[in-house]
């Protein structure tokens, strides 16, 4: 398991914990900009994906997931992965994200996909929320390999209470 | 002049800076925007030995302020900073 960058300082590493609740592209990018910046500063970074935020770490596969008809319907309507997320504003049936992606690549801002790879290379920990996974009928296999573990609220709090920066996005 | 206003002061080109600091490695981060210059710098320094000098080239104006703060937070030393037209040259010594 990657442990992140080793800083020169002797004191214990400072840490950042981010809860990504939102499944919107813009908010996910904001979370990853902060995560990668903090990881580059030799800080320990953990991102806890919950509810709609789980879409950011879903694999690009399978439209129908879940055990019963309600879960199946939810997963069809809520289909998404890192390359297919909507904007929180000005989505315009997908035109907004397409335009934003073009604008970002022109300015050489990484895409969400690249941000996930960079963050993972820098040792950022990705954790999925167990409860929202169960509710939505998702399994660990539905998430990308970078997702380290499936954890609950207690594990999240035990990480978050020792963190210097805590964000809920 | 306090620390923060010293960061904002305009930098010009400094003659003989390359000979003075003799960088062991050069990172061309031109064209990249926040937060990639500091991410690339962190990755470049990761493969270096303490005491070696890294030269970062960037044209992101905010990096002029950010990389000195980044160096301070990570225990690396900012040696010098200069600017030639759009390119900002930042010399860092790995701590």
ipTM, two decimals, is 0.74
Q: Annotated catalytic residue: which of B31, B33, B34, B87?
A: B34
Closest approach of chain A CAs to the CA of B36, in angstroms? 8
Place of tokens 């442990």: A3
Asked if A107 reaches chain B (Cβ–Cβ under 8 Å), the answer is yes
pLDDT band of residue B3 (cuts 50, 70, 90) is low
Distance in angstroms (rounded) separating the CA atoms of residues A70 and A158: 33
Asked if A36 reaches chain B (Cβ–Cβ under 8 Å), the answer is yes
User: In CATH, which superfamily holds the domain spanning A23-124?
Assistant: DsrEFH-like (3.40.1260.10)
Residue in chain B lying closest to A31 (CA):
B35
CB contact under 8 A, A40 and B39: yes
Domain-wise residue ranges, chain A: 23-124
What pLDDT tens digit does each residue of chain A (169 aa) get?
455 676 655 566 899 999 999 999 999 999 999 999 999 998 999 999 999 999 999 998 877 888 899 998 888 888 888 888 999 999 998 899 999 999 999 988 999 999 999 999 999 999 999 999 999 999 999 999 999 999 999 999 999 999 999 999 9
CATH class as words, domain B26-93: alpha beta
Could you tell me if A94 and A80 are in contact, meaning their C-beta atoms sit under 8 angstroms apart?
Answer: no
**Helix or strand or coil: residue A120?**
helix
Find which of B30, B42, B61, B78 to mutate to test the A interface (most A CBs within 10 Å of its CB). B42
Find residue B53's DSSP bridge partners.
B93
- Is residue B16 scored above 90 in pLDDT? no
Give catalytic status of residue B20 as yes or no.
no
């Amino acid at each position: 398991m990657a442990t992140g960058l080793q800083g020169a300082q002797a004191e214990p590493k400072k840490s950042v914990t981010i809860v990504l609740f939102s499944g919107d592209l813009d908010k996910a990018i904001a979370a990853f900009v902060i995560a990668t910046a903090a990881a580059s500063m030799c800080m320990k970074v953990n991102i806890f994906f919950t509810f709609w935020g789980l879409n950011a770490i879903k694999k690009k596969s399978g439209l129908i997931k879940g055990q019963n008809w309600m879960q199946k319907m939810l997963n069809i309507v809520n289909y998404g992965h890192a390359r297919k997320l909507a904007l929180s504003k000005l989505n315009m049936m997908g035109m907004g994200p397409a335009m934003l992606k073009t604008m970002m690549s022109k300015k050489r801002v990484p895409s969400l996909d690249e941000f996930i790879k960079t963050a993972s290379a820098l040792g950022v920990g990705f954790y999925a929320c167990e409860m929202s996974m169960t509710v939505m009928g998702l399994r660990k296999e539905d998430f990308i390999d970078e997702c380290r573990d499936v954890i609950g609220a207690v594990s999240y709090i035990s990480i978050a209470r020792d963190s210097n920066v805590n964000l809920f996005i | 002049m306090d620390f923060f206003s010293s960061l904002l002061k305009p930098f010009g080109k400094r003659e003989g800076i390359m000979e003075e600091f003799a960088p062991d490695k050069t990172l061309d981060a031109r064209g990249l925007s926040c937060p990639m210059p500091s991410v690339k710098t962190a990755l470049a320094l990761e493969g270096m030995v303490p005491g070696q000098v890294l030269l970062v080239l960037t044209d992101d104006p905010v990096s002029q302020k950010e990389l000195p703060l980044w160096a301070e937070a990570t225990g690396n030393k900012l040696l010098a900073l200069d600017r030639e037209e759009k390119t900002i040259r930042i010399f860092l010594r790995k701590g």
